[in-house]
Structure 1
Amino acid sequence: MVAATLILTTAAALTACTPATTAPDDGPAGVSASVVQDRTQIATGTMSVEVHNDGSDPFVVTSMDYADPRLAGAVTWSGTLPVPSGSKRDVSFSVPSPVCDAGDSGQTGHVRLSFKADAEQATADYPVEDPYGFVASHLATACFSATLAQHASVALTDVTTAGAGGTEIAVMHVQVTVTGDDAVRIESAESTTLLQPEVGGWMWPIDTTVQPGTSRTIDLRTIPARCDAHAIAEDKVGTRFDTSVTILSDPAVTGMITLAADDAAKSALFDYVTRLCGNQG
């Protein structure tokens, strides 16, 4: 079971759940549900189920049971969640672990909602829409990362700087250690809204192979991607780099991982952007 935290209210009680199927007609008119992960949730590893009210009358959600065959466990929440007409409200919770052998073909989540409206109570089940393909993307990245961990460790270990004044650059050091029997090739890393390669563009074309039983440090030379006043204040994922990696097994397997700066590296990168952008201003 995964604990859920309501964004808009603090009343909650958690129990086990096994969602069943009932007719959506049992609930209020105009109800639908979707799953999302916005930029503020990526770094915290949380996601949300949004309850939409496209009907003409308000209602209150009093419990939610959410499950997806591609995610381990189920999420249960109970409390008080008013949803006015023409609006949506969220329940947020930690992203459940992926079920890596579940596949993704034709699978979707479902949610059972209990309602209170005009002194009437009702319970109904709804399919959970995923307009941005979040669950499938999470499944692909998390499961490939788990496979890669059996072959190698890849981590952004620290950040140094080179040069001074307006020509200063940050150098992100990525440590790759191959512990398995197959070589690993780091293909490329994508820039973010905050940071980009020293030469510009949206990608570091790394193309570096590390052999079994060896370790190598890859240096990513970096400059700010933007220097407006809100570059750091509004940044949510600027120090998380989507990175393409190939395990040179037979057959080879390619996937994406996220190189995330730890607190020390993140602080060093923010300090660097602040310093360089100040020099340029």
Structure 2
Amino acid sequence: MAALLVSVLAAGLALAACAPSDPPSDSSLGALPPGVSVELIQLRSDVVDRAAQVRLVNAGEDDLVITGLEIMDPRFEESIVRDKRAQVTSGRTLDMRIALPSVACDADAADDAATIELAYEVDGRAATAAASIADPLAFIPLLHEKECLRERLADVAVLSWSGFEASDALAPAHLTLEIDPSGGGASARVETVETTPLLMFDAAGAAPFVVRAEVEGSGSPQRVRVPLVPLRCDPHAVMEDKRGTIFDVTVSVGGVVGVVEVAAPAEVKGEVLRWVAAWCGFGG
């Protein structure tokens, strides 16, 4: 009987050794597989949609199936979760698109770093890894800085474009920068408006338009009439325009100087593009 018991136990241990292991719990996260690396990048096409890419490079010997990921970064209000399956074979690179949460403006953008938990399968066996995730383009600190500055500015005033006035060729058109206080006791300063890939402010060159408007949160609205002339007159610049009516405005809020984007509304953008085409002589 003893010999039979020993034989049964030995067989059970052998079967256990051959069976696939259970997926590790959060307390037993492993390292990334050999040859695998991850980083965060933002492509030009991601910017408008406020998205980014998790780039996974599989230089290892095994094909991987990514079953999910979570990125933790204190500079965002929430973690970034992606639960779609994706395969990345050995020797290939995979970009996985993610939506970016709202920024957390009480976080220190200089010191915080992102980490990733990656769920994957190799030959049908599940595993989970944890690692830091690089940001080689350093787009997250810039995004955090820009959006937090915009939040602080919104507590003082809202900037917008209105009142486009078209012009004949060789004369400048005009667009009105609206500065509408939000209330409260804070203050800001609107310094300059920068040129766009399509528009500048006079024929002398691509210098910024100087505003230098002091803004009080409890003050009165201000209107600034900004002259415009085309920066370029090639037709495809109008046909393929994406950022020609999105202006970078330099502001100072609470001693912090930076740039906020102020886009013309769709109807104003249409008026501006039609005017550029007519001004340049290729409009209908």
Question: Is the shorter-chain TM-score for this pair beyond 0.5, marking a shared fold?
Answer: yes
Cα offset for 1:176?
Answer: 0.8
Supply the AA of the counterpart residue of 1:181.
G
Cα distance in 2 for partners of 1:88, 1:278 equals 46
Matched, 1:241 2:244: no
Question: CA separation of 1:224/1:128 partners in 2, compared to 1, >3 Å: closer, same or farther?
Answer: farther
Matched, 1:22 2:29: yes
Matched, 1:228 2:234: yes
| Higher share of residues assigned strand | 1
CA contact (8 A) 1:243 1:258 kept: yes
In structure 2, the partner of 1:42 is 47
Cα offset for 1:43?
Answer: 2.2
Of 86, 91, 103 in structure 1, the residue corresponding to residue 108 of structure 2 is: 103
Of 61, 73, 79 in structure 2, the residue corresponding to residue 74 of structure 1 is: 79
Gapped runs of 5+ residues in structure 2? 1-24
| Higher share of residues assigned helix | 2
TM-score by length of 1: 0.79
In structure 1, the partner of 2:269 is 266
CA contact (8 A) 1:19 1:111 kept: no
TM-score by length of 2: 0.78
In structure 2, the partner of 1:193 is 197
Quote the sequence identity (%).
27
Supply the AA of the counterpart residue of 2:57.
H
Which aligned runs of 4 or more in structure 1 are off by greater than 4 angstroms? 18-21
Stretch moving more, 51-60 or 109-118: 51-60
In structure 2, the partner of 1:205 is 210
Cα distance in 2 for partners of 1:115, 1:257 equals 39
CA deviation profile, 1:239-274 (whole Å, cap 9, x unmatched): 222211124x6xx44332111222112222222333
Cα distance in 1 for partners of 2:59, 2:256 equals 44
Gapped runs of 5+ residues in structure 1? 1-17
Which of structures 1 and 2 has the larger relative contact order (alpha carbons within 8 angstroms, sep 6+)? Answer: 1
Superposed CA RMSD: 2.7
Supply the AA of the counterpart residue of 1:78.
D
CA deviation profile, 1:151-182 (whole Å, cap 9, x unmatched): 122112342212x13x2544221101233435
Cα distance in 2 for partners of 1:210, 1:142 equals 19
Cα distance in 1 for partners of 2:35, 2:279 equals 51
